[in-house]
Structure 1
Amino acid sequence: MDKKLVLFLIVLPLFYIAKAQRFDGGLLAGFNGSQVTGVQYNGMFVKGYHKPGVIIGGYVETYVAKAVFAAMEIKYSQRGARNKVTEKNPEKYVMRLGYIDVPVYLGFHTNPKGAVVGGVSFGYLVSSNELDNYGQLPEGDLLPFNTIDIQPFVGFQFDFLDRVKTDLRFALSVLPIRELPGEGTNYYIYNNQFSKVISLAAYYQLGR
């Protein structure tokens, strides 16, 4: 699907929601640093938040109490895993995943400019591929990814301009993004792969 069409379909519904009297809304853009647990390539674990990705979409929010607001986002989010190439570990490996995410959350203002946020993000996988030194991995070597991802998250928002705020958050999948091959263990987390994401984004309020 054309990326411009995807972005249009993401943002358009939020513009209509934000027109309601009690709602504010706008655009967001930023970056992810991500990793996936349980990833091995050539016998070595791929660890660390070395896979960068972009975030782009829109949001709406409304105050439900004096210092408490509820919010929803619809955004395109890139994440996955990447092996950090070194002299001791020269093998290239990259997992690229693209999701349409719909986070819903509450924010609690700790001061006039800062707020703690927490909620759940529901993701739908729209693209995936894996690469090594020789290019894209053969289809026969690939394990299927699960379509749905659910990530609880916590974070912090800071208003540094009248219409602009930043958002820093950490998210962890509770549903596996895919199952690991071979015999299972008695531990759920060791039988599957899970996504971990640290994100930083800027939010621009439209309208008022």
Structure 2
Amino acid sequence: MKFLLSFLFILIFPIFINAQVFNAGVMLGISGSQVEGDGYGGYNKLGFIAGGFANTEFSDKVSTQLEIYYINKGSQKNPRPDKGDVEAFNLNINYIEIPISFRYHYKKFIFEGGLYASKFLSYSMSDQFGERDTGNYPFKSFDFGGFFGINYKINDNFIFNLRSKNSLIPIRDFNNFDQQIGILNKLFNRGWYSLDLNFSVRYQFNKSK
């Protein structure tokens, strides 16, 4: 995790130091997430996001942004006793996440792509029998992945963001129970991966010099 944070810091720090103008703001949102490999499909786990960001523009069309926020991810499968299905699963994982994005501006839209590093904070996991622990396969202390998204500027201050994210490394070394999985997981059974869809509202303060 320290290496990943150092890499992001080295990548972004000179940009912000040399920037003549930067913007800062706060963000609040929700996430729908799932875990590839746990055997339960669908973005059924609802979590929330809260944090802040800073960005700087290279030109009228290109900018970069650094964020830091708390995010709740995981996986959820609800029982359906009316259908004879009593199986349940609920996984909550809490992270501090630091994404860096490179962005392209077009009218009121901002298209983005980038990388993120997350620091694991805590988890809870349960099924129809009650609380579960991770046994000999704990969740890793960090997550690292990529994302792409789109922003819509309501005005100079308010921005809507929609983002899709995917782990590039496993969050847990464990048997992959998914029947339909990516080719690399199918070949190597590499563990559990985090996937999430985020929607957030950002408030950007006035530009500073």
* TM-score of the pair, normalised by structure 2: 0.80
User: For residues 76 and 134 of structure 2, what CA distance do their matches in structure 1 show?
Assistant: 21
CA RMSD of aligned residues (A): 2.2
Distance in 1 (CA, whole Å) between partners of 2:70 and 2:127 is 25
1:64 CA displacement: 1.1
Cα distance, 1:202–1:140 mapped onto 2, change above 3 Å = closer
Structure 1's 88 and 49: CA in aligned 2 closer, same or farther, altered over 3 A?
Answer: farther
* Runs of 4+ that moved beyond 6 A: none
Tell me the secondary structure at the aligned position of residue 162 of structure 1.
coil
Gap regions ≥5 residues in structure 1: 1-16, 40-44
Identity, % of aligned positions: 27
**2:76 is aligned with 1:82:** yes
In structure 2, how many angstroms separate the alpha carbons of the residues matched to 1:63 and 1:168?
Answer: 20
Matches within 5 A, 1:29-178: 29-39=28-38, 45-86=39-80, 87-110=83-106, 112-137=107-132, 139=133, 141=135, 143-178=137-172
In the TM superposition, residue 206 of structure 1 has moved relative to its aligned partner by 2.0
Counterparts of 2:40 and 2:128, CA distance in 1? 15
Counterpart residue number, 1:6: none
| Number of equivalent positions | 181
* Compared CA separation, residues 113 and 151, structure 1 to 2 (3 A): same
Partners of 2:37 and 2:175 within 8 A in 1: no
Distance 1:158 1:186, change over 3 A: closer
Q: Distance in 2 between matches of 1:171 and 1:140?
A: 24
Q: Which position in structure 2 is the counterpart of 1:199?
A: 198
SS of the equivalent of 1:187 reads: helix
Relative contact order (C-alpha < 8 Å, sep 6+): which is higher? 2
- Distance in 2 between the 1:181 and 1:153 partners? 25
C-alpha separation between the residues in 1 aligned to 2:43 and 2:175?
24
2:21 equivalent in structure 1 = 22
Deviation at 1:22, TM superposition (A): 1.2
Could you tell me the TM-score, scaled by structure 1's length?
0.80
How far apart, CA to CA, are the structure 2 residues paired with 1:207 and 1:171?
29
Contact conserved, 2:71 with 2:97, CA < 8 A, in 1?
A: yes
Distance in 1 separating the partners of 2:118 and 2:206 = 28
